Amino acid sequence: MIPTSAETHDIPLEEFRAQAHKLADWIARYLEDPARYPVLPPLVPGATRDKLPPAPPQQGESLETILADFEQTILPGLTHWNHPGFMAYFANSATAPGILAEFLMAALNVNGMLWRTSPAATELEGVVTDWLRQLLGLTPGWFGMVNDLASTSTLYALAAAREADESLNVRRLGLAGRDLPRMRVYCSEWAHNSIDKAAMTLGLGSENVVRVKADAEFRMRPDLLEAAIAADRAAGYKPIAIVATVGTTSMTSVDPVPAIADIAQREQLWLHVDGAYGGVAGAVPELRHLLDGVDRADSFVVNPHKWLFTPMDCSVFFVRKPAVLKRAFSLMAAYLETAEQDVVVNYMDYGYQLGRRFRSLKLWMVLRAFGAEGIATRIRHHCALASEFAGWVREAPNWEVAAPHPFSTICFRHVLPGEGVEATNARNARILDRVNESGDIFISHTMLGPVYVIRVALGNLGTEERHIRRAWELLQQGALAG
Ligand SMILES: *Cc1c(COP(=O)(O)O)cnc(C)c1O
């Protein structure tokens, strides 16, 4: 029997329309007050899975039923990143313009693998990444692309670094069974582990990521970087890249990029700058100096999904020599050839992805909706809240700020006279647990060497002074509880 169109098409669009209107109201209500929900759900492994049927339905269900189940079954198990009390990891915000863009992106189902598969998507990506470049005060001459994550962008940077020396020819011959020197990548001991993952993925090996010691303020020491490169060259290794960080993940320290750029230039090494979180500070005139030297790098990554109000995911990768990146990844198939390929950008040539989401649309909508001034005001506000919070910590007896805080993230701890490191660490972990049990505030921690510190990261647009006051109150109560 031939199926009817009702059986072979999408669900009725009347149903879509009705549910989309309801969902718009639901989302607006959610965004008005995400704090109606606890920021952290009860952390019971399996709690959501146990509420779900183990097998898919035989017959289709109505959107109304599905969305009701979403609210009853899925929502209670979510951590609310949009909650103003979210101060863990790097707090971020999915803002209304970005959410609307995601709605459109899904509806249009754009796949920007080639210019021709969505000319406007490709061209918008070029324009909007150049807007971001200007917003961050970077010089012209950067090629920008939008990736999912900083992890991907850094992988691309190291792939390009490996390709920059054509004599290695890893692209064609691979790494195994050849007489190749060990290739080395240098970064600070505080750099993000996406560099190690990239080295593992690219076959460079995690042991060939050389972690250079930092100074007392957690910044890579250029003298030790130079020494490490010299020692490796003497041992017959082949240095290929340096990764400097503007805003390390643990304590947001800023490596001395100008001094590192001098070394990269002298040693002819690819310099990649990881500004996944901190790079956005370039949009604030009085913070722009934190990006000094970035213009001398070969590549740079910044994540609008971290501190530029763009919903997950959106990472912008800038590269000075797109031809090298293209050499690393471009691969033609007969069915992908187009007449215009020599005069347009086909983004599939600049990474391992063929299909590509239309992420530039949401960045475009976010940048337009807030504007350069609106963005600067919001970032400045987070930094001011962070300074205020750090001031309370500094002034309170038995509390100490554990690292400089150039952005909006503060590392600190509670210390009691005469207490050993282990005991202090354990006590601070208990303080953190108590805060997180409140449901009002979610904070995470990091280790500064042997020292456990509590880490408050401010980056949600809903976060106001009353939220940081509440966090501070809960922290002090937690400390009193012992
Ligand atoms: C968060 C972070 C990353 C990883 O970001 P993803 O987009 O999740 O891959 C890389 N580097 C730094 C410095 C970060 O803070």
For residue 96, give both structure tokens.
């209304």
Residues in the chain, overall count: 482
Mean pLDDT of 21-41: 96
Residue 474 confidence (pLDDT) above 90: yes
Tell me the CA–centroid distance for residue 79 and ligand 1, in Å: 19
Q: Sorting pLDDT into bands at 50, 70 and 90, what band is 339? A: confident
User: Per residue in 199-225, pLDDT tens?
Assistant: 999 999 999 999 999 999 999 999 999
**Ligand 1 lined by 315 (C-beta under 6 Å):** yes
Same fold, 12-40+79-95+371-482 and 111-357: no
Cα–Cα dist 157/276, whole Å: 13
Side chain identity at residue 400, one-letter code: E
Pocket test for ligand 1, best of 152, 158, 255, 303 (most atoms within 8 A of CB): 303
pLDDT of residue 336: 82
Is residue 174 helix, strand or coil? coil
Tell me the CA–centroid distance for residue 249 and ligand 1, in Å: 7
Strand partners, 302: 316
For domain 12-40+79-95+371-482, give the CATH number.
Answer: 3.90.1150.170
Pocket test for ligand 1, best of 81, 146, 246, 249 (most atoms within 8 A of CB): 249
Residue extents of the structural domains in the chain: 12-40+79-95+371-482, 111-357
Q: Where are the alpha helices (DSSP H) in 183-329?
A: 194-201, 222-234, 257-267, 304-307, 322-329
**Ligand 1 lined by 208 (C-beta under 6 Å):** no
Tell me the CA–centroid distance for residue 382 and ligand 1, in Å: 19
Q: pTM higher than 0.95, yes or no? A: yes
Which protein residue has the closest C-alpha to ligand 1 atom 8?
149
Tell me the CA–centroid distance for residue 247 and ligand 1, in Å: 10
Backbone dihedral angles phi then psi of residue 239, each to the nearest 5 degrees: -65, 135
Which protein residue has the closest C-alpha to ligand 1 atom 1?
276
Tell me the CA–centroid distance for residue 314 and ligand 1, in Å: 11
- The CATH fold of domain 111-357: Aspartate Aminotransferase; domain 2 (3.40.640)
**Ligand 1 lined by 245 (C-beta under 6 Å):** yes
User: Per residue in 62-87, pLDDT tens?
Assistant: 999 999 999 999 999 999 999 999 99
Tell me the CA–centroid distance for residue 418 and ligand 1, in Å: 37
Which protein residue has the closest C-alpha to ligand 1 atom 15?
249
Residue 48 confidence (pLDDT) above 90: yes
